[in-house]
Structure 1
Amino acid sequence: MTIHSELSIITVLDLLGTLAFAISGIRLASGKNIDWFGAYVIGLITAIGGGTTRDLILDVIPFWLEDIKYLITTAFALLVLIIFKNRLFRWKNTLFIFDAIGLGLFTVTGLIKSLAFGLPIWASVIMGVVTGALGGVIRDIIINEVPLLFRKDLYAIASIMGGIMYYICDQFEVLIPYQEIIAVLTVIFIRIIAVKFHLQLPKLNLSESSD
């Protein structure tokens, strides 16, 4: 696969991920007494934070500075939530659903772009986690929440497993775009299973037990 075709796939997945993450960010901001502009900023940070960090590490211009579609997509997400808030908010797991979709999509875009720029697979998997998770970390810090990455069921682990699945599919020469689809679905599936069955890594507790 050429760099051009890889970057075309990245653009499509990035826009879908931007929409999903922007919706999850704006939905979370709605409970923090934030106005429309503030909600837009929170949604945008959620959507571009990880990818911006990835691009800075790769020493390229952050993707959203070269294409206004990402800003427009975030504005569209805000508009959708404003218009359809009563319908969307009836879904108890609205935030989780869109966050899981965004994590899956951005994990894959980060991995693909890193591979296209010559990073080894292990580093590209890490960059996939950065792309998928860091925007949410920045969002949560801004709105004074403990980041999902550190407190929810198998968040970063789901991203890592999606990256590993992408690598496995590539080794077995699975056709494109099925590699990407399988990797994204792997992340979403692990998040759903982890939340449904409350699967978590053991909490770190180094305090001395009392006698």
Structure 2
Amino acid sequence: MLLVILELVGIAVFAASGALAAVRARLDVFGVTVLALATALGGGVIRDVLLGVHPPTSLTKWPYLLVPALTGLLVFSFHPQVARLRRAVQLLDAIGLGLFVTGGTSTALALGAPPYTACLIGMTTGIGGGAMRDVLLREIPLVLRREIYAVAALLGCLVVAGGSVLGLPEGPVALAGSALVVAVRLLALWRRWNAPVAHGLDA
């Protein structure tokens, strides 16, 4: 039950980030709700499609649809107040990312995927929704141009996959992977770390 609640919290936070981006892009209420749903559920849908889970899990359980839809509507109505909670949203986003990537990796391993495939699927689970959000807004996905986001996700996936290879208990390993993702993500935000980009392109 606790894991389900935490997952729904992560979905709500991802939905809020999508809805805020949609509000800034001046989309109407329908567009804001669609962006909230795509950001919150996109990674999980991609995961299930890659793993052959049909229909995707998030589309068969009503709370997984209701929570991001309501979050989108709330953000649409109270976006100035939500925007002021930037630090809290970033913290919850990091926690959501940790939960999503470790959950995605564990799901892939449980369905028989090899460790390297499980890592890629786990990372996609965490970053897929945000990438889908940016594509719908006709932007280069944020994870491809700045911030330590995908790297943090991949580190968590490696912990889960490594623990599986070593035969370690799944629960503590997933918790450790999630904690690592959160720590790296928050440290990157605090230190303003960005992945390196190519230099000399203006020459």
TM-score, normalised relative to structure 1: 0.82
Task: Point out the structure with the larger helix share.
Answer: 2
Q: How many residue pairs end up in the alignment?
A: 201
Q: Does 1:162 align with 2:156?
A: yes
- In 1, the alpha carbon distance for the partners of 2:147 and 2:183 equals 12
* Deviation string, structure 1 residues 1-38 (Cα, Å, up to 9, x no partner): xxxxxxx8875554332112111111221211112221
Q: Does 1:38 align with 2:31?
A: yes
User: Does the 8 Å CA contact 1:10/1:109 hold for their aligned counterparts?
Assistant: no
- In 1, the alpha carbon distance for the partners of 2:200 and 2:2 equals 45
User: Does the 8 Å CA contact 2:40/2:129 hold for their aligned counterparts?
Assistant: yes
Kindly state the Cα deviation for residue 134 of structure 1 after the two structures are TM-superposed.
Answer: 1.3
- In 1, the alpha carbon distance for the partners of 2:59 and 2:131 equals 21
Assess, with a 3 A threshold, how the Cα gap between structure 1 residues 193 and 172 changes in structure 2: closer, same or farther. Answer: farther
Cross-structure match for 2:14: 21
Cross-structure match for 2:51: 58
* Deviation string, structure 1 residues 73-132 (Cα, Å, up to 9, x no partner): 112312443565444322243553343233222111211110110012221111011111
User: Does the 8 Å CA contact 2:105/2:161 hold for their aligned counterparts?
Assistant: no
Assess, with a 3 A threshold, how the Cα gap between structure 1 residues 168 and 60 changes in structure 2: closer, same or farther. Answer: closer
Alignment equivalent of 2:69, drawn from 75, 91, 96: 75
User: Does the 8 Å CA contact 2:13/2:89 hold for their aligned counterparts?
Assistant: no
Cross-structure match for 1:198: 192
- In 1, the alpha carbon distance for the partners of 2:76 and 2:36 equals 13
Q: Does 1:102 align with 2:106?
A: no
- In 2, the alpha carbon distance for the partners of 1:13 and 1:84 equals 23
Alignment equivalent of 1:135, drawn from 105, 129, 144: 129
- In 2, the alpha carbon distance for the partners of 1:68 and 1:87 equals 27
Assess, with a 3 A threshold, how the Cα gap between structure 1 residues 148 and 43 changes in structure 2: closer, same or farther. Answer: same
Q: Does 1:119 align with 2:106?
A: no
Assess, with a 3 A threshold, how the Cα gap between structure 1 residues 203 and 29 changes in structure 2: closer, same or farther. Answer: same
- In 2, the alpha carbon distance for the partners of 1:144 and 1:38 equals 14
Backbone CA RMSD of aligned residues: 2.6
Q: Which blocks of at least 5 consecutive residues in structure 1 are unaligned?
A: 1-7
Kindly state the Cα deviation for residue 150 of structure 1 after the two structures are TM-superposed.
Answer: 0.8
Matching residue's letter, 1:58: L
Matching residue's letter, 1:202: P
Helix, strand or coil: the match of 1:165?
A: helix
Kindly state the Cα deviation for residue 172 of structure 1 after the two structures are TM-superposed.
Answer: 7.2
Q: Which blocks of at least 5 consecutive residues in structure 2 are unaligned?
A: none
User: Does the 8 Å CA contact 1:29/1:39 hold for their aligned counterparts?
Assistant: yes
